[in-house]
Amino acid sequence: MFWLRLVPDDTKIQFMKGRIVGLATSAFLSIASVILFFHPGLNYGVDFKGGIAIEIQTPQPADFSVLRSNLDALGLGQVQLQQFGSPSDVLIRMEAQPTEKEQQTALDTVKKTLTDSVPGTVIRSVDSVGSTVSGELFQNGMMALGLALVAMLFYIWFRFEWQFGVGAVVTMILDVTKMIGVYAVTGMQFNLTSIAALLTILGYSVNDKVVVYDRVRENLRLFKSMPLRQLIDLSINQTLNRTIGTSLATFLACLPLAIWSGETLQQFAIVILIGVVVATTSSIFIAAPILLFLGEDKLFRKKAPPPAKGDGAAAGKGA
């Protein structure tokens, strides 16, 4: 019986050799993402920018010029029309009106204009978010992300050493910025669902880091005299099968969503797919090297160790 093993058991890749390249690439991508975040910026959905988004389905393929001229004639500011799915599905986005009252009136007018200009049009969904709420939603979302990072920092610090906590959180920040870069580059809408996607990736990523770090912690106890660099390489190699296996499984679970599901879930799933790759590589090439830099002196146990207890169990491994 043949069972799939993704990586041969005795793999000994010296990942830490690539630490400089890994960190540099990651830093470059993250900095680029931050720049893209400010300029040109993200394509914020109505959740965060405020405004009106209406999804309609016209009986025949939609005539954009008619819709556009009718909507522009209302003088309610910028109107964006976008086809999605079939040619008769149209997404209309309008900017937020100065006050909530005006927004309500605008919504009424727009709905009426749409059904009047193309008879038989079905309004499939409406999102109207006032400017106060959109600001709060954005702030709350960001605050949740931030606090989640701080809490993780303290828990990992508490359970491991501070170097692990810092390493995990710095990696996490690099991961999240890259994902924001993905939104900036692709122009995908950034809304509440995107926050859920980022949180999912964050959850997945921290899990991945904890697993690798956990093995490092265990090996630190087992091989008291092994240089940290070699020890980290050993730990990554030992967990490589699980790292890649879990990533593959998660990737497979999301793949159908990215291919088949509706607009909202599809974007969500695509982001997760990219996130899984980012999180997996960052566990190996970012989180581990940071630990190496931070822990080179601190975690390296100077004195010659007494014979380690776990040596028997670890025979034939690493040391």
Partner 1 sequence: MMYFAPWKKVTIWVVCLLGVILSLPNILPRSALDALPSWIPARQINLGLDLRGGSYLLLEVDMKAVVDGRLNNIQDSIRGLLRRENIAYTDLAVQDRSVGFTLADPSQADRVRTLLAENMQSGNVDPLASGQRDIDISVGSDGKAALTLTEVGLRDRETRAVEQSIEIVRRRVDESGTKEPLISRQGTSRILLQLPGEQNPDRIRRLLGQTAKMTFHLVSQDYQPGQPGPVPPDTEVLPLEDSRSATPQSIAIKKRIEVDGANLIDARAGTNSQNGQWVVNFEFDSAGARRFGQVTQANTGRPFAIVLDDKVISAPRINEPILGGRGQISGNFTAQSANDLAVLLRAGALPAPLTIVEERTVGPDLGADAIQAGVIAVAVGFLLVITYMTAAYGLFGLFANIALVMNLVITVAVLSLLEATLTLPGIAGLLLTLGLSVDANILINERLHEETKRGRSPFSAMDAGFSRAFGTIFDANVTSLIKMGILYSLSSGPVRGFAVTTAIGILTSMFTAIVLVRFMMVGWIRRNRPTVLPVLRKA
What part of residues 196-225 is at the interface with partner 1 (CB under 8 A)? 196-197, 199-200, 202-204, 206-207, 210-211, 214-215, 218
Interface with partner 1, residue 95, by CB under 8 A: no
For the bound state, the minimum distance from the C-beta of residue 262 to partner 1, rounded and expressed in Å, comes to: 5
Amino acid in position 33: S
| CA–CA gap between residue 152 and residue 171 (Å, rounded) | 12
Interface with partner 1, residue 12, by CB under 8 A: no
Among 261, 215, 207, 210, which residue's Cα sits nearest to residue 235? 215
Applying CB under 8 A, among 74, 261, 318, 319 the residue interacting with partner 1 is 261
**How many other CB atoms sit within 10 Å of the CB of residue 189?**
22
Applying CB under 8 A, among 124, 185, 186, 225 the residue interacting with partner 1 is 124
String marking each residue 52-91 x if it binds partner 1 according to CB under 8 A: ---x------------------------------------
Q: Which is nearer to partner 1, 95 or 100 (CB)?
A: 100
Interface with partner 1, residue 230, by CB under 8 A: no
Interface with partner 1, residue 264, by CB under 8 A: yes
Interface with partner 1, residue 239, by CB under 8 A: yes
Interface with partner 1, residue 144, by CB under 8 A: yes
Interface with partner 1, residue 304, by CB under 8 A: no
Interface with partner 1, residue 269, by CB under 8 A: yes
Interface with partner 1, residue 25, by CB under 8 A: no
Applying CB under 8 A, among 30, 121, 128, 219 the residue interacting with partner 1 is 128
Angle at 78 between CA 93 and CA 59, to 5 degrees: 45
Applying CB under 8 A, among 22, 130, 167, 289 the residue interacting with partner 1 is 130
Q: Which is nearer to partner 1, 304 or 313 (CB)?
A: 313
Interface with partner 1, residue 262, by CB under 8 A: yes
| CA–CA gap between residue 183 and residue 316 (Å, rounded) | 46
For the bound state, the minimum distance from the C-beta of residue 284 to partner 1, rounded and expressed in Å, comes to: 16
| CA–CA gap between residue 212 and residue 209 (Å, rounded) | 5
Which residue do the tokens 């960001």 mark? Answer: 142
For the bound state, the minimum distance from the C-beta of residue 42 to partner 1, rounded and expressed in Å, comes to: 18
Q: Which is nearer to partner 1, 19 or 50 (CB)?
A: 50
Interface with partner 1, residue 132, by CB under 8 A: yes
Tokens for 25?
A: 């690439």
Applying CB under 8 A, among 21, 31, 253, 277 the residue interacting with partner 1 is 253
Number of residues this chain uses to bind partner 1 (CB under 8 A)? 80
Interface with partner 1, residue 184, by CB under 8 A: no
Interface with partner 1, residue 38, by CB under 8 A: no
Contact status, residue 89 vs residue 55, Cβ threshold 8 Å: yes
Interface with partner 1, residue 143, by CB under 8 A: yes
Burial class of 194 by CB neighbour count within 10 A (0 to 12, 13 to 18, 19+): buried
Interface with partner 1, residue 107, by CB under 8 A: yes
